[in-house]
Amino acid sequence: MSSEGASEECLGWAATDTSGVLSPYKFSRRAVGDDDVYVKISHCGVCYADVAWTRNTLGNSVYPCVPGHEIAGIVTKVGSNVHGFSVGDHVGVGTYVNSCRDCEFCDDGLEHHCVKGSVFTFNGVDHDGTITKGGYSKFIVVHERYCFLIPKSYPLASAAPLLCAGITVYSPMMRHKMNQPGKSLGVIGLGGLGHMAVKFGKAFGLNVTVFSTSISKKEEALSLLGADRFVVSSDQEEMRALAKSLDFIVDTASGPHSFDPYMALLKSFGVLALVGFPGEIKIHPGLLIMGSRTVSGSGVGGTKEIRDMIEFCVANEIHPNIEVVPIQYANEALDRVIKKDVKYRFVIDIENSLN
């Protein structure tokens, strides 16, 4: 199929101002180019990024803003140069839809670190100058490089959150070799990212401790998610008892919190991987220096990592815990994300509710 075809009107839900309130919105998607895949969206996960950009909390939102970057769906058209996908394939699209494809990071399959900047799936500026629109919509047209095959045995609703929540924790866990059976992992926060870190940790054979500010999450952490231990982070006695006991920590918390109590839990040469966005980081230098500890930041992952993660989830039957909702519930879902009232990821049923 040539790129000379006509653009196509697409129905989505968009925020039109900083209130972030979503409502139906029609816009044009580009024609399917030679290297493109046309994906009929079946499901889209709800990420805190959807809140941030629809409400302009980062100050760079472009309206109307169609959010959504945890996309799953079915291929219905492919360009003439596309050989990795066929009509009928189940696929996912994540947090970015373009990059330069020519820098050292793109060459290594780490497109999210593209020297010229990767193009976000929504509220990004694409190479033709248009503003990208996300997955709260009927379909999306994307270069095949940024599209990921989902085995048909794996539910599309479950696949959607893997494209952001899943890869955001999987990437640093693999980079820091947290897949060593018998090692110990701490997970701070038990939301969309945290619950996936627990699932990956258990699949890697780790001894997993969940840290939360809320005792109400204890039963689910232990019984539902299979964590080995649950600690209320404000319990200073219990925290002290775990001093120098952890090999790794994945910190998914975005609320303000002190880092020193957690750094003290790491063994010498331990690693804390930060994937949350807490606003400010303060760490006593002695806690880094004396134990030769490492603090590392990480966000999403490259195309190779995403493919590997999907294969791992399929092979180990790892599924996010989701609450499927119709598009008409999107505004309430975003409000509940702000209130942390979700166990553990909303997924919008685009196919059956957006029409």
90-93 and 71-78 strand pairing:
antiparallel
pLDDT at 178 over 70: yes
User: What value does the mean pLDDT of the chain take?
Assistant: 95
Residues, the chain: 355
Distances (CA, A) of 48 to 19, 41, 67, 89, 347: 15, 20, 10, 28, 13
Position 91 pLDDT exceeds 80? yes
Contact call for residues 280 and 258 (beta carbons, < 8 A): no
Instruction: Calculate the alpha carbon distances from 88 to 96, 114, 156, 354 in Å.
Output: 23, 30, 13, 20
Write the pLDDT tens digit of every residue in 195-252. Answer: 999 999 999 999 999 999 889 889 999 999 999 999 999 999 999 999 999 999 999 9
- Is a pLDDT exceeding 80 seen at residue 3? no
Annotation: CATH topology of 8-164+319-353 = Quinone Oxidoreductase; Chain A, domain 1 (3.90.180)
- As a whole number of angstroms, the distance between CA 266 and CA 244 comes to 5
Q: For 253-307, write each residue's pLDDT tens digit.
A: 988 899 999 999 999 999 999 999 888 899 999 999 999 999 999 999 999 999 9
Residue (of 279, 355, 333) closest to 347 by Cα position: 333
The string of pLDDT tens digits covering residues 229-245 is 999 999 999 999 999 99
The CATH number corresponding to 166-297 among 3.30.710.10, 3.40.50.720, 3.10.350.10, 3.40.50.300 equals 3.40.50.720
Q: Determine how β-strand 36-45 pairs with β-strand 139-143.
A: antiparallel
pLDDT of 46-71, one tens digit each? 999 999 999 999 999 999 999 999 99
How many alpha carbons fall within 13 Å on the CB side of residue 164?
Answer: 27
Does 19 have pLDDT greater than 90?
A: yes
The residue extents of the domains of the chain are 8-164+319-353, 166-297
